[in-house]
Amino acid sequence: MDSWPSVAVPRLPGQGLPLRLHDTGTGTVRETAPEGGTARMYVCGITPYDATHLGHAATYLAFDLVQRQWRDAGLDVHYVQNITDVDDPLLERAAATGEDWRALAEREIQLFRDDMAALRVLPPDDYIGAVEAIPEIGAAVEALRAQGDAYAVDDDLYFPVSAAPGFGSESHYDRDTMLRLFGDRGGDPERPGKRDALDSLVWRGRRPDEPSWDSPVGPGRPGWHIECSVIALNRLGMGFDVQGGGSDLVFPHHEHSAAHAEALTGTAPFARHYVHAGMIGLDGEKMSKSRGNLVLVSKLRAAHVDPMAVRLALLDGHYRADREWTGGRLPAAEARLARWRAAVALPTAPAADEVLAEVRAALADDLDSARAIRAVDRWADAALGSSGTADSSSGGPLVRDLTDALLGVLL
């Protein structure tokens, strides 16, 4: 599937630091250590039935920062993202509104691309839809079945969690928590005929009123977790550097995706870091479709809000923290953006070597973007407050390059 247009990333003097990131699997902040000069990252993409809200944007911005720090550290990056362009929520929405599910998906994917491009999120190298990946997913489900790691319930196929010795090592949740989250997030713990309530669907057999595709295991469509396992595995291999997504994907999605991949290959781990972004709330509630409290990126764009201000507003907080989107955030970010732009436009301004080092250090430390922003603030305050006393150097161009390359904020 076509991704969105990329943007040039300025090269900065010197080199960035090794990136340290929080890993949900070990519960620690650890250095990422890509091998062979290329960092490999998979981030779970959207189910295209509703427009990009600020919660999505915050997640993709976090992983955009990952890619930018790796590049600054001299690494190449192989970034893969999927689109779950056939799944229950999409089909349910299309049925409710009477729209063709493909038309709905196509429209929302294009809106997402436009939102990502406006926010200057670097695109994935491989942007893969579930539908286009069905042949490879079908082959993987057949492989699971052939090795005894998939069983039938009626016309559907399930993965037994007993086949995954490492099951639970990503989320570390106890069984009661797993059962609750599985039921809340698309699982079917109550379905009769399953060997274990936590076993997950890998292939849904054909239903008369749903789209289906032929496969070695019969007609139907893939489950959600196996979709990501296979798309990642076939492009990045096992042991890739970062598996990313929002914190609502910790369980069951990432736990099951890893379990499927580990059963398919007989090796572990699926990913070396499992990295999760916090949720964005509005008026004390998590922003979500079901609550109807979404702030849409496309609506902000249509209201002529500068996407760079949206980006700055979302980065002014730690990616792992659940954060509130309050009315003051956007005006504060717009004011900051104006100050930074005024400062870099000055003919003379303080040297920027120190701010570059500070921003690199902050972002390498588990993406402390708020600390990075404070460092640029201090430089801008010094530049704007020191007319006539600024040293004769001109730090403006370097600050413009570093906010662009490291924070993705174009001044």
> What are the residues binding Zn ion (CB under 5 A)?
44, 228
What are 153's strand-pairing partners? Answer: 156
* Nearer residue to Zn ion within complex by CB, 80 or 118: 80
Q: How far is the CB of 351 from Zn ion (least distance, A)?
A: 44
Torsion of CA 279, 80, 403, 8, to 10 degrees: -150
What are 242's strand-pairing partners? Answer: 41, 273
Q: How far is the CB of 257 from Zn ion (least distance, A)?
A: 6
What are 274's strand-pairing partners? Answer: 243
Residue with token string 């949206």: 310
Residue with token string 């990503």: 170
Q: How far is the CB of 261 from Zn ion (least distance, A)?
A: 11
Q: How far is the CB of 31 from Zn ion (least distance, A)?
A: 25
* Nearer residue to Zn ion within complex by CB, 44 or 104: 44
* Nearer residue to Zn ion within complex by CB, 120 or 260: 260
* Nearer residue to Zn ion within complex by CB, 231 or 363: 231
Work out the angle at residue 273's Cα, subtended by the Cα atoms of residues 268 and 278, and round it to the nearest 5 degrees: 135
Residue with token string 């699926």: 270
Q: How far is the CB of 252 from Zn ion (least distance, A)?
A: 11
Parallel/antiparallel/unpaired status of strands 200-205 and 156-159: antiparallel
Q: How far is the CB of 44 from Zn ion (least distance, A)?
A: 3
* Nearer residue to Zn ion within complex by CB, 80 or 337: 80
* Nearer residue to Zn ion within complex by CB, 44 or 144: 44
* Nearer residue to Zn ion within complex by CB, 228 or 280: 228
Helical ranges in 187-287 per DSSP H: 224-236, 255-265
* Nearer residue to Zn ion within complex by CB, 65 or 228: 228
* Nearer residue to Zn ion within complex by CB, 120 or 221: 221
Cis peptide before 269 (omega within 30 of 0): yes
Nearest-CA neighbor of 42 among 235, 257, 270, 243?
243
* Nearer residue to Zn ion within complex by CB, 84 or 369: 84
Cis peptide before 252 (omega within 30 of 0): yes
Question: Which uninterrupted H or E stretch holds 79?
Answer: strand 76-83
Q: How far is the CB of 250 from Zn ion (least distance, A)?
A: 12
C-alpha atoms less than 13 angstroms from C-alpha of 252 in its C-beta half-sphere: 28
156-159: strand order across its sheet:
151-153, 156-159, 200-205, 220-222
Q: How far is the CB of 228 from Zn ion (least distance, A)?
A: 3
Question: Which uninterrupted H or E stretch holds 22?
Answer: strand 20-23
Q: How far is the CB of 78 from Zn ion (least distance, A)?
A: 17
Computed over its alpha carbons, how large is the radius of gyration of the chain?
Answer: 22
* Tokens matching residue 30: 């650890």
Q: How far is the CB of 159 from Zn ion (least distance, A)?
A: 15
* Nearer residue to Zn ion within complex by CB, 128 or 333: 128
Helices 224-236 and 255-265: angle between axes, nearest 10 degrees: 50
Residue type for 275, please? Answer: V
Question: How far out from the chain centre does Cα 53 lie?
Answer: 13
Q: How far is the CB of 251 from Zn ion (least distance, A)?
A: 12
Work out the angle at residue 178's Cα, subtended by the Cα atoms of residues 172 and 183, and round it to the nearest 5 degrees: 155
What are 271's strand-pairing partners? Answer: 240
